[in-house]
Amino acid sequence: MLSRPFSFDVTGEVRAFWCALASHGRIAPCAWPTRPRRARRGAQDARPASATVPHFTCSSFDELLLLERFMLPEIETNDLIAHGTLSSLLARLGEDVSEVLADAGCHYVVLEPGQRFADVSAVLRRISAGVDSWPIPPAGLCIVEERKVVLRSISPMTVVHETCHLIDVTLGGGVYLSGIEPRIRRAFNAATAFCTPYAASACDEYMAECLRAWHGEFSNDPHSLWPKATRERLQQLDPTMYEIVREIFEVTIPERAAALRGHRKAAA
């Protein structure tokens, strides 16, 4: 236990980690900043780019060391709480997932009130996707070409579902793996029951929901009318896809993350 509170400026990844650790209750914010005021569209954000988060206490030096080695995908938001929530969810998905997504250039944008999806994506503007004029705009969107997730909601269900699309596009090398991998397409075509109704809508949603089910202990919304997506449910309903998902999280991603760390060490 660190014996005294201390102050420092936190930016970028470091700030994200402090938020993640704080939201896990692993560090105690002595003077947690108040939720930043919502910036009006077009208005100058009054806060400095690098927010000062004073007087954290940390429960162990290991956590400080963690800050140095954990790679996080970039998260664009002025909202420290949103940043912390996303970082925390990424931390729960694990260091390997985070590392692999960061290396592939995956990133997140959290929409501010009044901001539209098209405001933050050149691809959406180019293809005139019109998603902003839907009667109910989506809670989140993964833009494959930009390897970007845009979030209107930061609920665990939305963040993890969209992150699973990023995993799909990362493993597919820029296109959805679920669009090109015959085993996954066969599993989708042969499926007779799905972990959630949404999984039945298209092969990429099937992939995202099955991957989300692997992390069902924190990726379900208690208020959702859908059945809870869990490993047990996936295994019971769709053992073929369960095996593919298990291989992705237990073999493919850890091996890729280990290789990345190896390259980094060799380059250092």
Smallest distance from Zn ion to CB 157, Å: 11
Nearer to Zn ion, 19 or 234 (CB): 234
Annotate each residue in 25-44 with x if it binds Zn ion (CB under 5 A) or - if it does not, as one string.
Answer: --------------------
Q: Which is nearer to Zn ion, 205 or 238 (CB)?
A: 205
- Amino acid type, 249: F
Please name which of 48, 112, 43 lies closest in space to residue 76, comparing C-alpha atoms.
112
Residue 16 Cα distances to 3, 81, 94, 187, 197, angstroms = 23, 10, 15, 37, 34
For residue 6, what is the DSSP state? B
Q: CA–CA distance from 41 to each of 58, 178, 218, 220 (Å)?
A: 36, 37, 33, 32
Shortest CB 139 distance to Zn ion, Å:
10
- Specify whether the CB–CB gap between 257 and 95 falls below 8 A: yes
Q: Which is nearer to Zn ion, 90 or 208 (CB)?
A: 208
Distances (CA, A) of 114 to 39, 95, 118, 119: 10, 33, 12, 10
Residues 125-154 interacting with Zn ion (rule: CB under 5 A): none
Closer residue to Zn ion, CB minimum distance, 58 or 111 = 111
Smallest separation, CB 150 to Zn ion (Å) = 12
* Site for Zn ion, residues 185 to 224, rule: CB under 5 A: 205, 208
| Minimum distance, C-beta of residue 204 to Zn ion, in the bound complex (Å) | 7
The site for Zn ion (CB under 5 A) is made up of 205, 208
